[in-house]
Amino acid sequence: MGCFRVLLCIIFPPLAVIDKGCGSIIIVFILTCLGWIPGVIAALIINNNPNR
């Protein structure tokens, strides 16, 4: 995961998972609406997962 992707996860989490599929975008968007920190954590976890 590159520096740009980590920065994007911190600034706007749903945009960071745009290439991971619709389900990931929706989950991260909902978590970001509930609170910024859960959205950032979810985006970092999704982007750090090598299986996706």
Q: How many CB atoms are located within 10 Å of the residue 31 CB?
A: 19
pLDDT digits (tens, 9 = 90+) for 4-26: 999 999 999 999 999 988 999 99
Higher-confidence residue: 6 or 1?
6
d(CA 8, CA 43): 9
State the pLDDT at residue 1: 73
d(CA 2, CA 35): 24
Q: How far is CA 21 from CA 9, 32, 45, in A?
A: 15, 17, 14
Q: How many CB atoms are located within 10 Å of the residue 5 CB?
A: 16
* Residue ranges per structural domain of the chain: 3-48
Q: Which two tokens stand for residue 20?
A: 């991971």
State the pLDDT at residue 52: 62
Q: Mean per-residue pLDDT for 45-50?
A: 88
